[in-house]
Amino acid sequence: MIDLTKNYDVIVVGGGHNGLICATYLAKSGRKVLVIEANQSLGGASATSEFSDQFSVSSCAQWLFQLNPVVASDMGLKKQGLELAARDLNTIALAEDGNHLIIDGDKLEGAGISDEDRIAFVAFNKQILRFAKLLSGAFNRRAPKLVESNLTDRITLAKLGLGMKMLGKDDMSDLMRLALINIYDVMEENFDNELLKAAISLDSLLGSHMGPRSPNTVYGYFYRRMGDIFGFSGPAVVKGGMGAVGEAMAKAARASGVDIEVGTAVSKINIAIDRVTGVTLADGRVVDAGLVVSNADPKTTFNKLVGLTNIETGVARRVKSMRMKGDAAKLHIALDSLPSFTGLSEQQMGQRLLIAPSMNYIEKAFNHSKYGEYSTAPAMDISIPTIHDSSLAPAGKHVMSVIVQFAPYELNGGWDDENKEEFKRLVIDRIADYAPDLKDKIIASELLTPSDIEARFHIQGGHWHHGEISLDQILTMRPFPGASQYGTSVDGLFLCGAGTHPGGGVMGLAGHNAAKEIIKRGKSA
């Protein structure tokens, strides 16, 4: 609810999880905060929606595996009713013949895995987690600028540098070497088992426009494994779907005094020459505030809300050059009953299931998207949340949620009903190779292409990280130089979404760090 008599100090544009987190910290610091969300539901890409009568699903992010524990505890999410239906799930890399690979923390089972691979996997995990731990030191604070001699930034840099030294000579040189290469080469160095190599590769590139042989994929894997540093040992299923995370955060925000207006789009961030004055809503209302924090992605923020003509050319160029074209689709299926996957028990079907038989399979799937085509044999990350949480479907019935990699944002000729239907059929056929009775059990289905994700979640390019997570777009270069410490070239305008450091995923640190930065700058912000 907007209370115009309140004279808000801060308006947060977008009630995604990072926006809600940022708003809560700011409200706790004594500021009067208003969050304005275009959709009816809060949480952004952490959403649950009904896609068929009585069937609901996590409509964008489907697993919780990176939520920062400090943020979760500061927000009091448990107290606000957030419940996990299952956690620390295994990942099962599916094999058509039913001889699947089960990844349970450090343990590997099935798929004829060799003792050498088991031993190598333990060592590999240890090393990756050492690297992730080191990086995590830079995640919960603003990205350090390299050239300005600011004390805070110097401490962050010194910590990173010292941390690297402390890794020891071998690890340090390995980190320097690995960070820049691709996951394909790293997998070839470490393992023999195709399913294992493919499973790790898929983890390193989910949501991105990269194949296993693309540079930056190793960093993508470090990034994914940040969840382990935050106390997860595999993905979790949220009771009520990912939307429950958004709801709990909204409750926490309201409890801290944040006003939240839903179903109202912001059409413009108002600027007087180079200082924000507030926002104009789609219905024409104007709300004034000295600070505006945009939870929208950087492109939406500057292209649509600020307007490229109202900022300087150098910034406009950087906005334009940001890489954020999504390449992952979401498939939602309503099922009359649980299908049978060859070689999986019901308990196992509740785990995270991957379709990625080999690294080359993923690379070939990626090839299509490079040329503006969807993959004819895509890689997939499958969740059947109803095995843990019956609230999402009528009794005895189920929903399946699938991340489909690769479906380019800019499909040749554009996405339409016909090619979407064709792609959906092809994806379902591919899953049916592993679950032969799947098609008999389908009641309804829904495919969200990156274009649909763009429209539904207001993310330009439909990229769930609000910008590719790659070495040229992380730390001080996220979202781009000059806007890397949440502040922008427009005085009083801040960013707090996944497009900022440390990035996307339902992690919450971008919102947390942005709030800390705004509080730190105090009146000068």
Partner 1 sequence: MIPHDETMMLKTPFYSRCLAACEINMWDDWKGYTTPQAYTSVEQEYFAVRSNTGVFDISPMIKYRFTGPDAGAYLNRLLTRDIRKVGIGRVAYTVWCDDKGQVMDDGTIFHLAENDYRLCAYARCLDWLMWSAEGFDVTIADETAEVAALAVQGPTSCAIFKNMGFEGIENLKPFGLTRFPFEGSEVMISRTGFTGDLGYEIWIDPSLAETFWDRLFEAGKHRDIRPIGSYALDMLRTEAGFIQAGVDFIPSEEAVRTGRSRSPFELGLGWLVSFDKPVFNGRKALLKEKKEGSRYAFVYLDVEGNKPAEHAFIYDGNKEVGTVTTAAWCPTAKTNVAFAQVDAKYGKPGQELVTEIYYERELKWTRVMAKCTVIEGAVFNPPRKRQTPAADF
Residue ranges binding partner 1 (CB under 8 A) = 271, 273-274, 303, 307-317, 320, 482, 489
* Choice between 308 and 426, CB closer to partner 1: 308
- Tell me the C-alpha distance between 215 and 210, whole Å: 8
* Choice between 274 and 440, CB closer to partner 1: 274
Minimum separation from the CB atom of position 493 to partner 1 (A): 12
- Tell me the C-alpha distance between 304 and 312, whole Å: 15
* Choice between 290 and 408, CB closer to partner 1: 290
* Choice between 233 and 303, CB closer to partner 1: 303
Nearest to 203 by CA among 127, 93, 104: 93
Nearest to 168 by CA among 201, 208, 199, 126: 126
What b/e string do you get for 247-282 counting C-beta neighbours within 10 Å, with b at 16 or more?
Answer: bbbbbbbbebebbbbeebebebbbbeeeebbbbbbe
Minimum separation from the CB atom of position 477 to partner 1 (A): 16
Is the Cα torsion angle 502, 467, 261, 33 positive or negative in sign?
positive
* Choice between 315 and 362, CB closer to partner 1: 315
Sequential DSSP letters for 402-440: EEEE---SS-TT---HHHHHHHHHHHHHHHHTTSTTGGG
Token pair 């995640």 is found at 139
Sequential DSSP letters for 183-231: HHHHHHHH---HHHHHHHHHHHHTTSS--TTSTTHHHHHHHHTHHHHTT
* Choice between 274 and 421, CB closer to partner 1: 274
Provide CB contacts within 8 A for 155, sequence distance 6+. none
Minimum separation from the CB atom of position 323 to partner 1 (A): 17
Length of the chain: 525
Beta-strand ranges (E) seen in 291-367 are 291-294, 328-335, 352-355
Question: What is the DSSP-derived secondary structure letter of residue 500?
Answer: S
Minimum separation from the CB atom of position 312 to partner 1 (A): 4
Provide CB contacts within 8 A for 147, sequence distance 6+. none
Minimum separation from the CB atom of position 320 to partner 1 (A): 6
Minimum separation from the CB atom of position 274 to partner 1 (A): 5
The answer to whether 403 and 453 have CB atoms below 8 angstroms apart is: no
* Choice between 457 and 494, CB closer to partner 1: 494
* Choice between 234 and 487, CB closer to partner 1: 487
* Choice between 98 and 307, CB closer to partner 1: 307
Minimum separation from the CB atom of position 452 to partner 1 (A): 26
* Single-letter amino acid, residue 500: T
* Choice between 157 and 308, CB closer to partner 1: 308
Minimum separation from the CB atom of position 318 to partner 1 (A): 9
Minimum separation from the CB atom of position 316 to partner 1 (A): 5
* Choice between 215 and 482, CB closer to partner 1: 482
- Tell me the C-alpha distance between 267 and 305, whole Å: 6
- Tell me the C-alpha distance between 363 and 367, whole Å: 6
Minimum separation from the CB atom of position 313 to partner 1 (A): 4
Classify 30 as helix, strand or coil: coil
Classify 37 as helix, strand or coil: coil
The answer to whether 327 and 434 have CB atoms below 8 angstroms apart is: no
* Choice between 167 and 271, CB closer to partner 1: 271
The answer to whether 234 and 352 have CB atoms below 8 angstroms apart is: yes
The answer to whether 501 and 143 have CB atoms below 8 angstroms apart is: yes
Minimum separation from the CB atom of position 8 to partner 1 (A): 24
Most distant CA pair in the chain, distance: 69
The answer to whether 310 and 469 have CB atoms below 8 angstroms apart is: no
* Choice between 146 and 444, CB closer to partner 1: 146
Minimum separation from the CB atom of position 319 to partner 1 (A): 8
Provide CB contacts within 8 A for 474, sequence distance 6+. 143, 219, 501, 502, 503
- Tell me the C-alpha distance between 358 and 197, whole Å: 7
Minimum separation from the CB atom of position 514 to partner 1 (A): 21
